[in-house]
Each structure stands twice: as C-alpha cells, then as structure tokens.
Structure 1
Amino acid sequence: MIIHLTSLPILTKNLFTFCSTAPLMPLAFLISKAIKVDFKNKENPLTALGVLFSVNQMLYLLIAMWIYPTLPEKMLMIIAMIFGAHLLPYGWLYKSKSYIVFAILIPIVSLIIGVNFEPYVIALMMMGTEIIFSICLIFENRKISSISKTNF
C-alpha cells in the first residue's frame, strides 16, 4: 500500500509491487517451520499436488506481466484477483470453507474496487482481507481440533 501512495510513476510502483511478491513463497515456508507444519511431507501424496498449485500460480503471473505495460493502473487489481483465485484448489485440498469463500470473494471484490478506485485502495482491502482470512482459518482450525479431540 505504501508503494502506491507515493508519487512514483505507475510503472515504478508496479515494478516494486511485482518484486515484493518474490519473497512470499519462502516466507510461507518459514512460517510453516515456525508453526511446525510439515511443508514437505513426503509421506502425504497430496503434498506434491499442493506444490503444483503454488507453481501453477506462476503461470497466471504472466497475465500480470502483460498488464504491467499495457494497462499499468490495473496491475495491482489483476495480482489481487490472481491471488484470490489461486486459493480455490486449496479449499478442496484442505477441505476448507474459508479458502473456498475467499477464493471467490477476493477476485470479485478486487474487480469492483479495482475498476472504481485507485490501486492503493486495493492494497488496503487486501491487507484487511488477509487479516480476516487468517482469523477465519484460526477459527476453522480450532473447530477441527476440538472435533478431533472429542472423537478420540
């Protein structure tokens, strides 16, 4: 959001935004280590599928790369839509209603906001959305944990 509030040219803002997505996968790996999630569980055959879902998103980023010089004021909207849509297969993989709901909600809301407002509003919306999404996942995991405890 800070990048898009500056007086930098839109192409420079977009370049910084695009570059800031690079550490997200390593960051996810570090967070999984911190919360003791086996990011590379070789015993689970679905782990490879989860990695494939992540790698698949890189192909979608080609769309954002095309938007960058063509419609630069809409690049952040496209990145937000790609991010939201990439959550959908994880909804199936993790059997998570939160993932499914946010996978549908994020692209639609990003489109509406992106068409009607400046890019910094999308950045603000995504920050809020990520906080709400994280809270929903915490509640979803607690519910699963309590169900698991009552079944044993």
Structure 2
Amino acid sequence: MNTPDLKKLKLELALNAKSGIDFIISAAMVWGAIAYIWTLPKEAYSKSILTFYVGITMLPLALLLSKILKTKWTTKTNPLQPLGMWLNLAQLFYFPFLFFILRDNPDYFVMTYVIITGAHFFPYAWFYDEIGYAIFAGIIAVGALVVALNVTVGDMYFVPLYMVLCLLVLTVWLLISNKRKRRSANAVFN
C-alpha cells in the first residue's frame, strides 16, 4: 500500500466518522456529569465509584449522537477501520494504575482518569489525520495535573470541568477541520 492510498483510507474514515466527534461530544456531557459528582459532599472513594458508573453511559450516548450527527462507526471496505476500536480499548490497559489510585489515594482518582482519557486521544491524530487529537492529548494530560496541583482536594471538580472545556474546544476544532476535509475530499474522490 502506498502513501496516497493510506491517506485516502484515513480520509474515508475521518469523513464517515466525522473524526469521532460523536464520542467527543458524548465525553463532554459525561465529564460534565462527573464534575457535578465531584461537587457532592461525599468521600472521594464514593465519588470515584460514581464516576465509573456515569462513565458507562458514554458509549450509548455516543451511539445516540451518531444517529443524530449521521456518523458511521464502521466502514466495512476500509481495512483500517478495526484499528479505531483497538485504539479505544488500549486505554483499558491503564486502568490498573487507576485502580491503584482508587485504593491508595482516591482524592486524585478523577485527575488520573482525566489524564488517561486525554492521553488516549494521541493515536487518533494518526488514525484520522487530525493533529487536534495530538495537541489535546497533551493539553488535557498536562493541564489536568496542573489543575489538580493548584486546587484543594475538596475542589477536584475543577479537573473534570477543565476536561469539559478541553472537549468543547476540541469539538469546535473538529467541526472546522471536518468542513475542510469535506471540501478537500471532493478533489480526492472525484
């Protein structure tokens, strides 16, 4: 497979999935709910468990948004398509670290979760040919640490709020980028 063919396959995935924007919007909504959880007058361990429960809603919410936004999760003729799911599953291998934090230092659970989630965006920069994912992987991971180091443990809700802000900016970035890709696709596919 030569480079132009690979670029064409990646462009096809980006156009069909709209660069994963349904997942990003879903994540922003879920992280908004998580931010609320971290304002509750409960101990950090309980808030961490609730965070997991709320996080489970992301996939069904993304599926609903895919119907509204008319995105396609599968492109059967594209051999790169299965890689998207593998990239998403890769973040699960970081969860043992998350469970360690839950057990030994639950006050920093939400920060750790944000860092893992943000960092897992990085390979999508290649997958969708979208530099925004690489940029925001770094901004989210480093920014979550900076926010957590500068607030009290009682104010950790600022970390998921920071995540929401980043996801909303990434959403705007993707909307603009997807419009550009659609225009350039006319030249590539015609």
The code of the aligned residue for 1:16 comes to: L
Q: Whole-Å Cα distance in 1 between the matches of residues 97 and 54 of structure 2?
A: 17
Residue 132 of structure 1 pairs with residue 169 of structure 2: yes
Q: Following TM superposition, where does structure 1 have runs of at least 4 consecutive aligned residues deviating by more than 6 angstroms?
A: none
Residue 11 of structure 1: how far off its partner (Å): 0.9
Give the drift of 1:147.
2.5
Quick one: which of 89, 92, 115 aligns to 2:126?
92
Number of the residue aligned with 1:73: 107
Q: 1:27 aligns with which of 61, 67, 72?
A: 61
Taking the aligned partners of 2:117 and 2:123, their CA distance within structure 1 comes to 12
CA contact (8 A) 1:57 1:86 kept: yes
Judged with a 3 Å threshold, the aligned counterparts in structure 2 of structure 1 residues 32 and 125 are, in CA distance, closer, same or farther, namely: same
Residue 150 of structure 1 deviates from its aligned partner by 5.7
Which residue of structure 2 lines up, in the alignment, with residue 48 of structure 1? Answer: 82
Q: Does 1:120 align with 2:154?
A: no
TM-aligned CA deviation for residue 60 of structure 1: 1.5
CA deviation after TM superposition for structure 1 residue 22, in Å: 1.1
CA distance in 2, matches of 1:46, 1:104: 25
Structure 1 stretches lacking a partner, 5+ long: none
How much does 1:87 deviate?
0.4
% same residue: 27
User: 1:68·1:75 contact (CA, 8 Å) conserved in 2?
Assistant: yes
Of 58, 61, 65, which residue of structure 1 is paired with 2:95? 61
In 1, the alpha carbon distance for the partners of 2:42 and 2:84 equals 37
Task: For residues 62-119 of structure 1, give each alpha carbon's deviation from its aligned partner in whole angstroms, at most 9, with x where no partner exists.
Answer: 2212211211111100110001110011110000011111011110101111122131
For residues 95 and 60 of structure 2, the distance between their equivalents in structure 1, rounded to whole angstroms, comes to 17
Aligned to 2:27: none
Q: Distance in 2 between matches of 1:58 and 1:125?
A: 22
Letter in 1 for 2:166: T
Q: Identify unmatched segments of 5+ residues in structure 2.
A: 1-34
Given candidates 50, 68, 72, the residue that maps to 1:16 is 50
1:33 and 1:39 in contact (8 A); partners too: no
Change (3 A) 1:150 1:49: closer
Q: 1:146 deviation in Å?
A: 2.4
TM-score by length of structure 2 reads: 0.75
Q: Relative to 1, partners in 2 of residues 1:40 and 1:148: Cα closer, same or farther, differing over 3 Å? A: closer
